[in-house]
Amino acid sequence: MVFSCLGHLFIHLCTAFYFVIVLSLEREWHLPYHELIELWTLGSLLVGVAALPAGLLSDRVGASLMMVVFFVGMGGASIAAGLVGSPTSLMVALAGIGLFASIYHPVGIPWLVRHTSESPGKVLGFNGVFGAMGSALSGLVAGALIDLAGWRAAFIVPGTFCAATGVALLVLTAKASGKGESRQRPESASDGEPRSTRVLPILLVTMFIAGLIFHTTQVSLPKFFEQRQAGLFGDGAFGVGVMIAIVYALAGVMQILGGHFADRFPLKWVYVGSIFLQAPTLWVASSLFGLPLVLVATMMVMANASALPAENLLLARHTPRHRHGLVFGLKFVLSFGAAPLAVELVSTLTRRSGGLSSVYTLLAGLAFAAFVLAVCLPGRRQESVAA
């Protein structure tokens, strides 16, 4: 539980802090925003593409060892990013962050589920808080370190803590001699549940759209806040970081509530309701400024985050346990595979229009399409008839 949650924190911190760091690099390297943000394209692609082989490899060598590789590798790549001197070398270091970051979700989430005996929704919601905390701290930590010691420190300090966590896990795993892996549940959350064959195709599409919305929002919010905050939290990187921290910290709390609902109510309608709320908030955010923008942006990120516990449980319910590594790996290939598309989307639309309104209008339309698809998921009564 401890290392799964810390891993969730670090992956979201280390894959999001560049979106604040890039604001400083614009001034330091005298390069336009759209060129600098594209340096993360390869890294974001690897987060998704490498998820499936990472999940399959963990079935062979064990989740604990793969988590050690995740912590040490991503931390080392982050430190390397803070030592580079050119855009090309920075792109390579960011690609390293993406490659090792791909390990967490297909390994760390099933690792946690296998050790959960009851209330899996709440456990996943609690774990999700740490992911949201990582996104929140990415802006706050990066902004603070940039203002205090420069952009290099914003890479090096979090990377050092991440790598140290991996060393600690390695030491504890060696002492435990594999006992931690043997304490997993004998049966998965999906065993004995009726399954519907149409669930997986629908979820694959809605998960891709949800991933695209999440990553596009994560990429663009720092710039969107910088353009439209109207001096609400100051004009420096730290002010933008504070707003990012507020948004994602509240989104983390919402995951606990989403997990609670997933344990108490039909998963389909918890999932559908969370998707439905995203469309209007994204559309409204496209035209707001100042404090109203911060409030609505918080609501739209909270709605996106609240769907995750129900989504993971739906996926587990309709998948045999021996296929969880494959299916969860596929999920995160799609979810994080949307990240490079998000980067290119933000880069292209900002280059053409100079603003981000069109980005959020497009996301609102995609959220509505995902809602229509999610309504087609079978409910409990339909599942029983199919069974």
CA 294/CA 229 separation, integer angstroms: 8
pLDDT at 315 over 90: no
Q: How confident is the model at residue 95 (pLDDT cuts 50, 70, 90)?
A: very high
Q: Is 315 left (phi over 0), alpha (psi -120 to 50) or beta?
A: alpha
Q: Please give the angle made by the CA atoms of 172, 174 and 180, to the nearest 5 degrees.
A: 70
What is the model's pLDDT at position 313?
A: 82
Distance of CA 180 to the CA centre of its chain: 26
Mean pLDDT across 109-122:
75
What is the model's pLDDT at position 74?
A: 96
CA 16/CA 220 separation, integer angstroms: 11
What is the model's pLDDT at position 168?
A: 94
Instruction: Report which of 170, 137, 139 is spatially closest to residue 62, judged by C-alpha positions.
Output: 170
Q: Write down the mean pLDDT value for the chain.
A: 82
Mean pLDDT across 121-148:
84
Write down how long the chain is. Answer: 387
Percent of the chain having pLDDT more than 70? Answer: 87
CA 116/CA 124 separation, integer angstroms: 9
pLDDT at 186 over 80: no
Q: Are the C-beta atoms of residues 46 and 103 closer than 8 Å to each other?
A: no
For the ranges 72-86, 102-116, 175-189, the one whose mean pLDDT is highest: 72-86
What is the model's pLDDT at position 190?
A: 45
Collect all residues with Cβ–Cβ distance below 8 Å to 56 and sequence separation of at least 6: 325, 326, 329
Q: Where are the domains of the chain?
A: 2-386
pLDDT in tens, 323-340: 666 777 788 788 777 877
User: What 3-state DSSP class applies to 232?
Assistant: strand
Q: Are the C-beta atoms of residues 190 and 316 closer than 8 Å to each other?
A: yes
Element (H, E) at 89: helix 87-101
Which structure tokens are listed for 146?
Answer: 């940039």
CA 378/CA 386 separation, integer angstroms: 9
For helices 87-101 and 41-49, the axis angle rounded to 10 degrees is: 20
Residue with the bigger pLDDT between 156 and 338: it is 156
Percent of the chain having pLDDT more than 90? Answer: 24
**Residue 32 CB coordination number (10 Å):** 13
Q: Which amino acid is at 296?
A: V
pLDDT in tens, 26-64: 888 888 888 888 898 889 888 888 888 888 888 788 888
CA 87/CA 194 separation, integer angstroms: 52
What is the model's pLDDT at position 220?
A: 83
pLDDT at 191 over 50: no
Instruction: Report which of 363, 61, 42 is spatially closest to residue 211, judged by C-alpha positions.
Output: 363
Residue with the bigger pLDDT between 290 and 40: it is 40
| pTM: predicted TM-score of the whole model, two decimal places | 0.71
For the ranges 154-163, 197-206, 286-295, 359-368, the one whose mean pLDDT is highest: 154-163
Instruction: Give backbone dihedrals phi and psi of 196, rounded to 5 degrees, phi first.
Output: -115, 135
At the fourth CATH level, the homologous superfamily of domain 2-386 is MFS general substrate transporter like domains (1.20.1250.20)
pLDDT at 217 over 50: yes
